[in-house]
Structures are given as structure tokens and as C-alpha cells.
Amino acid sequence: MPGKTRQPQRKPGFATMALMPASSARPRTPRKAARSLAGRNGDLSAPPRSNIELVVITGMSGSGKASVLKAFEDLGYYCVDNLPVELMPRFAELIKQSPEITRAALVVDVREGQKLERLPQELQQLKEALKTTVIFLEASDDVLLRRFSETRRPHPLSGRSDPVRVALRAERKRLGRLRDVADIRIDTSKFNVHELRAYVISRFQREQRSEKNILVSCVSFGYKNGVPPDSDLVFDVRFLPNPHFVPEFRPLTGKHPKVAKYILSFPQSREFISRISEMLIYLLPHYVREGKSYLTIAFGCTGGQHRSVMIAEEVQKRLRDAGYNVKITHRDSGHIAAGKSATTA
């Protein structure tokens, strides 16, 4: 069941995270949440439990902290947004004594002002007292600028005339120490709100296998239009026979059954798909262990219509069968599918 959310009244002018859906819960201040928690606990002198999990979410404004907090709420965590740093030790003590709470998550960020400088020391003390995981969310400046533009909200550090880019630069500098002490860093640049929520839930569900916690994006493209700049791995499939030279296939794409059958009729096509899929299934757990949360795999042919489309479709099927969360994009074919294959062009 979803946990109980405790959200404070936001101060005027503070930015709402670009990735955060509107919450229906009635806002409550962290101090009220703490008093409510203490009221239910009764005797705070009871022996603390050792199975408490605390997740501290921090990071850049606009990186999706509120969306991540919502995902933890859906996982059953007791959630608090914008908890003052000075209340963190008291909050930790309260949840240790509460018979109702085994997992809690809270957000602390640049809205704390100068008090944020104390957070690394507070986190160290928390880790000595109970199991604590620190998550740092970040994104590229271009993505954050776009999110602030879309929401038309000011950055917490921007003045009346200061541009958002300057505020982001100042925020990155201020959060540098927190980023260094974080247990998990998540770059949300390539996530939309649904993908970010799915990733967090898959990573922190107790029964989930950790080696599958990565979102894979298979992209087909045409070299004549350039290589996708955000590609992590690029495979050139122009060595395969080109359906473009078969007149009946020219107006179709690699998703059409006839085109796919033609490409698969060549043994090098089948062997390439098999070898690449096996290699990726081997590599993905290693990327996960290195902390990578998103991997873009690009397959390119001349025009991005036939060979690259078909290969991307086949590889994503095998990765999905292996248990990975995969989405697919055909950049240059004019057709985009998210996580599933189409049967016709």
C-alpha cells in the first residue's frame, strides 16, 4: 500500500520540479509531520529497531526529486519533502521508535540555503545510526533549462534578473560535496516522468533483481542524417544486404514482415543479431554494477529505413526476453514505438 506522504507548504517563488505530477495529498510541514509521528509513537525510550531503511533524496532543481519521492510513496515508504536539516536527527529517532514505519524517504535540497552545508555531516551520523541510502539526482544543463522553460517556474537560486543558467551553475557548485558522498547518482536527462518512476520502483522493490535495473533504449538511425549524439554504443549494419534495392521494399520499413523476412534470410543477419544480443546481455549487468541507469544502443544503416530498423527491433525483443526494460525509437523511419514492436510499416 502507498505510504503516507507528508509535504510542507512551499515557500513562494520556489520551483516545482519539472518531472513531478501534481500531488493530491494535503500539504503538511515537516515539523507537523514529525509531531504527528511522535504522537503515534508514545514512548520514545523503547528500544530502536534495526530493520529501518531511510532514503535521502537530493540533487539539482528540476532533476525529478519530487517524482522520485512519489515513487517511494508508491512503494510504501513514509515520505517527507523539504525536511529542514536540523530536524533530520530527530526524524531518524522518531522512525526508529515507530512501530508503524520500516521504510522512510525524504527530500533535502538547495531550498535549505546555508544550512545545506551541514548536510554531509548529518548524513554521516545518520548512516551510523541506521541503514541510510543517499540518492543524488542530476541532469544536463540543457535538459534542466528546458524543464524550467516548460513549467515557467523560477529556479530557487535565481533572482529577478539572474538567468536560470547562472543559477544552475551556482547550484552545481553548492551541491558538489553532496554529490561526492551520494551512494547512488541518477542522471535523469534521458528519462521522462514515467520512465523515471518505473526505474526507481524497479530498483528499490525488495524482490527485484538488481542486475536488471537499467533502462535500455534501442535506436535505429541513418548515417546520412548523422549518428545520434547521445548514443552509448553504436553498431554499423551497412554490411547487410540492402532492401532498398528491391523495388517492392523501397516504400516500406524494417518493421514490415516482408522486409524483415528478406533481411533474416541472410545468415550474416541472423548471426549478427545473435552475437550482439549475447554480448549485450553479458555487458548490461556490468553497466548496472558501475551505477549506469540508462544505456542507449544505436544501430545505423544508410537511410535508417530498413536494416537498422529491423535489427533494432530484433535486438530489443531479445533484451526484453532477458528481463530488461527496453524502449525502441526509429529516429529516421518516421515511426516511433515505445517498448514494443509494430507488425506493419
pLDDT in tens, 265-294: 999 999 999 999 999 999 999 888 777 778
pLDDT in tens, 176-216: 888 998 999 999 998 888 888 888 888 887 544 457 778 89
All three cell numbers of 74: 508508491
Q: Which of 287, 284, 296 is nearest to 324 (CA)?
A: 284
Per-residue confidence (pLDDT) for residue 104, from 0 to 100: 92
266: amino acid identity, one letter:
F
139, 55, 32, 59: which is closest to 105 by C-alpha?
55
Task: Give the residues of the chain that fall short of pLDDT 70.
Answer: 1-50, 159-162, 206-210, 335-345
In the chain, what are the domain boundaries? 5-208, 215-337
Backbone angles phi, psi at 27, to 5 degrees: -65, 140
Smallest CA-to-CA distance from 90 within 37, 18, 12 is with 37
Q: Nearest to residue 203, comparing CAs of 190, 189, 222, 184?
A: 184
Dihedral Cα 276, 279, 280, 282, nearest 10 deg: 160
Q: Are 25 and 7 in contact (CB under 8 A)?
A: yes
- Crossing angle of helices 119-129/88-97, nearest 10°? 20
Tell me which CATH code domain 5-208 carries.
3.40.50.300
User: Mean pLDDT score of the chain, rounded to an integer?
Assistant: 80
Q: What is the DSSP letter of 72?
A: H
What percent of the chain has pLDDT above 70?
79
The residue behind cell 534470410 is: 265
| pLDDT above 90 coverage of the chain, percent | 40
Q: What would the grid cell of residue 28 be?
A: 503538511
From residue 258, give the alpha-carbon distance in Å to each of 10, 27, 130, 308: 57, 57, 59, 15
Three cell numbers at 258? 516482408
Q: Rounded to a whole number, what is the distance in angstroms from the first to the last CA of the chain?
A: 42
Return the pLDDT at 50. Answer: 56
* pTM metric for this prediction: 0.59
Burial class from Cβ neighbours inside 10 Å (0-12, 13-18, 19+) for residue 170 reads middle
